[in-house]
Chains A and B, each alone.
Chain A
């Protein structure tokens, strides 16, 4: 008979023997200590890119969408690809905060804060593209249902219109969620910062938080409600984004598998992006104790799962195309893999389907450097997924007479690169002025927060010694 254990505890979330105050200083000192040179350099570079973005948008509006590589038949190019790509990245944040919160996954506390920040900035980048890709941006407000002297409403049948609502809702809720989480930490900063102005600013942001029992009670309720609200949004946003394609009749777009497939892809790319940023930050700011290899491994598992889901979706597309026996469907998928854009297709497959499979090995998924590389590869792959979907379907659709090859121009590229400027400008500001880890929440996940860890008599902190037993060799 084999040996059984009644209690196998999780390894501690926070490594190193930290107590509440050391956590406080570990995280908030980053915001309190004088700005490091490196930050200025990074900020300068991202500003440069930001100006590239503004410049190319200005030229676009001045000259017209013709400066992009668009043509008949390919009416949507990089703009829409980048839109979908950034929105996808914007998925991790809310997923981590809301869904993992509802499932009581305490390990989220180490990463939820800047995952949410990343989400918000990513959605901002995404939001730019649907706006600027239209031919006449000065009348874009017509997509909003505003009463007007033309007595015209927008066309509520149009997926583009659904996008407008889906994305803006998602953005609003994520922003609120993020801010609510920040309130107690702002209070912490308010109390620790020396400068008068700092106290003022953080004080306003903290909304007069005093950490009273009643405050905590409201806070927990609000956070719970927002989590409940955000959870369906995580699924809805990319579902609706996928409708832009799925609702049309173009072979390769008109596919019912798109909603789940897009959501999986979004989570996939979102987590990859979080990892990229996280691995950099924990190194620079010395947060290895909080963002541990265990966290990285957990996230790699999610990447492995979602990556495989995406791969499955690719297979299903082919199967359905064959199973449906619609010649145009069959044709488009064969052309994708063999035709003018095969190169893009195979980049997509290798980055999205093959690369995550390495994470079956525990050794690799706990290897930080390797994870970092894969996390970047995955996001490249996801960009190409959107390229393949958008461009190939349009360039070779029903009438061969109007098939055409799409090649981007310098302006397509600059606009895309520019959005990174926007993203990192905001992200660096966030790192500088806001606690990048949810201090209050991570404390709650530490042994110190557990009443059982205090000596009932003295009330001193004395965590029980738990030795993690070796599994019984011969029984396994």
Chain B
């Protein structure tokens, strides 16, 4: 959009302004909200922080005397261990039946930070929030510390003894329930077990798996296959409620997001973008990237997929099953549009549906993809070497009912937590109570552990040997980074014990598997795979050759009837941050704002404004209070009461619920947070179903980091369509009121060496941006590729020892994150556009904060950074007040120190912290530092190596930049004309926020682009 348009478009953040509602005018009356009292508050906060140890940092305080210190040198100096120089070791993180390649930073022999593995296609050096948070997960003091027998502490040798005798009888009826895993070793042991225990049965349980997608391929092609979408190959992507860019929505989200942003990466007017159609019920971040978004109830989405198949069957072969089919969605304009687009871009499109939908839906999607000729080009299908050729979901359900009937004398549960997550109607806990011996392996003493007599504490993946296949089939080894903190054992070690009655070493187990896998000199190959983190002889799963199986029609047609009613539907999805609940005890993830709602520490019932009104709830929030109304949701099988939250762009008569909350006595973080919605989930309707909704006369406090106000037509975010951009490449920049162009935009300035210093109004300040021998750091954030996942926030938190402050403090607007992602709505409340904008410190060259600090605690560095010197800060908060971007964070309480005197063994937690970053004491200000610790290290190393102070481009990466799957963030030296960041800042789309107040931010943005279908606009 052009300059004027930038101002015309009404961005808005909460419905308050859009609806010009009463509330907004009305908190006039309220001077003191009920919760204003600190007295009561103290208690909650302290008791909270007392247990928040795991999420808070240590290294010494930004100002206090130190006692006598001891230095403990090694007795025998280990090789390759240089004090103060971190080592990086490759490993991979298992997630369901995939692994993702990671590099773990080890400081003085302890893992301290997770990064992606550049050589591994599953991450390409990038990470997801789950990867970043894993480090805190491992140092979680709440993890189970020892095996238990009927709640009594025992040792693993006790269990081994028991196993030796118990499993000596090989004719036992044993039920193995495991989480999904791609581990070849696990697979090997599993086959051994099945042969050793002929009466045993092995089922897999994952509350949110992609099994239905696999069953879909089975329906369509007669083979159970993994579907891999290559988003970088497609012109048109149609996502039916498939949130493939969120780790909770897709096992391979990092690669998917990377591919998708590659296909939409625009650096010049010639470049092209793929087009994304998103049809979904709630607003996902994938939906927020869509060029066209349609909101429908889940049942309608299902119907639309069938209707689309029917429509396309007129033009395409292989869809005969659908020819005489029609439903209420047939003839919907979106169906027509899609039909046109898909046919026009044949074999260059991707259709994908959310994993929650029935096999029939996925079969239809597969049929469509093959009919459109996408299979083999944009969509590939693969056999899974480790997967049983069964329908896991039904197999599990049957096994449970057999258990109910007393068919088993032993049940062994590996990792998964069915008591909490299994469908309500299975009554799992009740079922296994009919089993004599119950053994459970898990990281926490969780709901299932308490239902079993044996609990064995599981080792974290960073503590144990293992292996697995990436989503696209590359083999990797899981290499432990540290000896198990609590003597946990891995799943394969437990299986070994069951087989042999002895405790085995995971190392040997994995090596035995890989001896048959690796060719050539084993030791050398093994070393190589360990070092690279991937076996590059394994170039992914082989493509399965597929064709629609005969009899597909007869099978599918009965499945096509739809269940659209006019009642309100609930749709159950895994939580974007906690997934199925397995990450519930992770403070970083709990406090990471939900990408769309910006809610922390809770789950809510998401609904559209009109649905809220129809339920008699206010469609707008009271600006001055954190209290929101609650609703009661009754499905007949179960009922819950939960806070109602209005989500603009949500489908009407539909309510979305996130699973994973409401856990109890798991850990000090997870307990009592949010509402458990699994009771609403049944085998019959695992994804969506109708329910009775009624407003409850109760309010509930929600800690939302950002439900403030409309953006008042301000141009914080600037956007245009691809065509508008091509007409007017400079749309995002214009003469500011001060009449000067943004640094890095104006051509003349661009050519000159000191373009940053040039232009601008007369300033009272010294315009020197540092001596020429120093680099000048800057950052550019591409709003076109950023999709708001929030991994930058977690990565920053991990890198910079940022404390977790807890729900109450968040609701008091005291969250400490150094980089936040602002979310703006644009357009009408029913289907608004969404823009994500990450906001770190802007490192203004004429920083307002610097000038007002009475003690010069924040000043400018020679390399152009806005420095915050904690140990000089006296905490007047004047700098934060004077910051136009409000990026400064104040330690109102002693967040970081609280746990030092509390928590049972803080030293565990302390190991998670970055020794390179000072812990901030109570009363000091802090903010994004452009990861100065990384910058300084690089500068010193470069200086030692070359004598120059300017590290090569790419040698310094900020934590946020390194983690971002979409490559949205670039950082580097602005005096280097060829650095990526310089290139970005020279791009026409580059702009800075608030240029008219002439603070000259070093952090700039590249304007957002959309690629809508010209026929629709």
Whether chain A touches chain B in the assembled complex (some CB pair under 8 Å) = yes
Q: A64-B922, A72-B890, A134-B874 are in contact. Are A142 and B709 (CB under 8 A)?
A: no
Q: Which of these, A143, A339, A401, contacts B13 with CB under 8 Å?
A: A401
A244–B854 Cα distance when bound, in Å, is: 11
CB-based contact B708/A76 at 8 Å: no
Within 8 Å by CB of A342, from B28, B39, B892, lies B28
Which residue of the partner chain, among A75, A134, A158, contacts B923 with CB atoms under 8 Å?
A: A134
Known contacts: A340-B27, A401-B706. The answer to whether A75 contacts B881 by CB under 8 A is yes
The stretch of B288-296, B308-316, B710-718 in contact with A is B710-718
Contact, CB under 8 Å: B623 / A405: yes
Asked whether any CB of chain A lies closer than 8 Å to the CB of B528, the reply is: no
Verify if B822 is at the interface (C-beta below 8 Å from A).
Answer: yes
Is A73 at the interface (CB under 8 A from chain B)? Answer: yes
Flag if B856 contacts A154 (CB, 8 Å): yes
Residue of A nearest to B710 (CB): A400
Q: Are B853 and A155 in contact (CB under 8 A)?
A: yes
- Judge whether A231 is part of the interface by a CB distance below 8 angstroms: no
A133, A155, A331, most chain B CB atoms within 10 A: A155
A331 to B713, CA, bound (A): 11
Residue of A136, A159, A342 contacting most chain B CB atoms (<10 Å): A136
Q: Give every chain A residue within 8 A of B716 (Cβ-Cβ).
A: 399-401
Most central of B852, B875, B881, B888 by chain A CB within 10 Å: B881
Near A by CB (< 8 A), chain B positions 959-1017 give: 993-994, 996-997, 999
A72-B712 contact in complex given A249-B997, A343-B28, C-beta closer than 8 Å: no
Interchain CB contact under 8 A, B31 and A343: yes
B30 partner residues in chain A, CB cutoff 8 A: 407
Q: Which of A399-418 contact B (CB under 8 A)?
A: 399-405, 407-411
Cα A73 to Cα B855 in complex, Å, equals: 21
Measured CA separation A254–B547 after assembly (Å): 71
In the complex, chain B residues whose CB is within 8 Å of the CB of A157? 851-852
Q: Which A342-399 residues have C-beta < 8 A from chain B?
A: 342-343, 394, 396-399
Asked if A26 is at the interface of the complex by the 8 Å CB criterion, the answer is no
Q: How far is the CB of A12 from chain B (nearest CB, A)?
A: 48
Interface members, chain A 64-100 (any B CB < 8 Å): 64-73, 75-76
Q: Mark A123-164, 1 if CB is under 8 A from B, else 0.
A: 000000000011111011011000000001111011111001
CB of A327 within 8 Å of the partner chain: yes
- Knowing A64-B923, A158-B854, A408-B36, the reply to whether A134 touches B876 (Cβ < 8 A) is yes
Q: What residues of chain A lie closer than 8 Å to B28, measured between beta carbons?
A: 340-343
- Chain A residues near B31 (CB, 8 Å)? 343, 407
Instruction: Report chain A residues within 8 Å CB of B550.
Output: none
Name the one of B855, B886, B889 contacting A142, with C-beta atoms under 8 angstroms: B855
A102 interfacial contact with B, CB 8 Å:
no
User: Does B894 sit within 8 A of A, measured CB to CB?
Assistant: yes
Known interface pairs A71-B814, A340-B28, A399-B822; A135-B922 also in contact (CB < 8 Å)? yes
Query: Chain A contacts of B737 at CB under 8 A?
Result: 326
Query: Which residue in chain A gives the minimum CB-CB distance to B814?
Result: A71
Residues of B within 8 A of A169 (CB): none
A47-76 contacts to B (CB < 8 Å)? 63-73, 75-76
CB <8 Å contact, B856 and A139: no
B36, B714, B872, B874: the one contacting A400 at CB < 8 Å is B714
A140 CA to B848 CA, complexed, in Å: 22
Task: Please classify the interface of chain B as helix (H, G, I), strand (E, B), loop, or mixed, using the class held by over half of its residues.
Answer: loop
Which residues of chain A have C-beta atoms less than 8 A from B624's C-beta?
Answer: 340, 405, 407
A248 within 8 A of B: yes
A71 cross-chain contacts in B, Cβ below 8 A: 812-814
Q: B880 — nearest CB in chain A belongs to which residue?
A: A75
Cβ–Cβ < 8 Å partners of B710 in chain A: 400
Chain A proximity of B214: nearest CB distance (Å) = 41
Which single member of B708, B711, B820, B852 contacts A247 (CB below 8 Å)? Answer: B852
Instruction: Give the chain A neighbours of B889 by CB distance below 8 A.
Output: 72
A142-B855, A152-B872, A155-B855 in contact; A69/B892 too (CB < 8 A)? no
Is there contact, CB below 8 Å, between B882 and A407? Answer: no
Given known A-B contacts A160-B876, A249-B997, A410 and B851 have beta carbons under 8 A apart: no
CB pair A409–B813 under 8 Å, yes or no, is no
Residues in B whose Cβ lies below 8 Å from that of A409: 36-38, 41
Nearest-Cβ distance from residue B77 to partner chain A, whole angstroms: 37
Q: Is the CB of B884 within 8 A of A403?
A: no
Q: Given A158-B852, A249-B997, A340-B623, is A410 in contact with B923 using a C-beta cutoff of 8 Å?
A: no
- Chain A nearest CB: distance from B737 CB in Å? 7
Q: B824 — which chain A residues lie within 8 A by C-beta?
A: 401
0/1 interface trace, chain B 865-906, chain A, CB 8 Å (1 if under): 000000011111110111011101111111000000000000
> Chain A contacts of B822 at CB under 8 A?
399, 401
Separation of A153 and B33 alpha carbons in the complex (Å):
42
Shortest Cβ distance from residue A137 to the other chain B in the assembled complex, whole angstroms: 8
* Given known A63-B893, A136-B63, A327-B714, contact A401–B708 (CB-CB < 8 A): yes
A400 to B714, CA, bound (A): 9
From residue A326, how far is it (CB to closest CB) to chain B in Å?
7
Beta-carbon contacts of A244-256 to B below 8 Å, as 1s and 0s?
1001111000000
Contact yes or no, B876 A133, CB < 8 A: yes
Contacts A72-B813, A158-B854, A410-B39; A397 near B886 (Cβ below 8 A): yes
* A338 contacts B by Cβ under 8 Å: yes
Which A residues, 5 to 36, have Cβ-Cβ distances below 8 Å to chain B?
none
- Residues from chain A with a CB closer than 8 A to the CB of B854 are 143, 154-155, 158, 160-161, 164
Tell me, yes or no, whether B29 is within 8 Å of chain A by CB. yes
Minimum CB–CB distance from B7 to chain A (whole Å) comes to 9
Indicate if the CB atoms of A248 and B882 lie closer than 8 Å.
yes
8 Å CB contact of A135 from B37, B712, B924: B924
- Chain A residues near B711: list those with CB within 8 A: 400-401
Q: Is the CB of A72 within 8 A of B875?
A: no
Selected from A136, A327, A402, A410, the residue in CB contact (under 8 A) with B38 is A410
Sampled A-B contacts (28; CB under 8 Å):
A67-B38, A71-B813, A71-B814, A72-B889, A133-B877, A134-B874, A134-B923, A135-B922, A139-B874, A142-B855, A142-B872, A143-B855, A155-B851, A158-B851, A164-B854, A250-B882, A250-B884, A331-B712, A339-B24, A340-B623, A341-B28, A398-B714, A399-B822, A399-B884, A401-B706, A401-B824, A402-B885, A407-B32
A400-B710, A402-B885 given. 6 additional CB < 8 A pairs?
A: A64-B893, A64-B923, A155-B851, A155-B854, A407-B31, A410-B38
Chain B positions within 8 Å of A, measured between CB atoms, are 13, 24-25, 27-33, 36-39, 41-42, 63, 623-624, 706, 708-714, 716, 737, 809, 812-815, 820, 822-824, 837, 839, 848, 851-856, 859, 872-878, 880-882, 884-886, 888-894, 921-925, 993-994, 996-997, 999
3 A-B pairs closest in CB distance: A135-B875, A135-B923, A66-B892
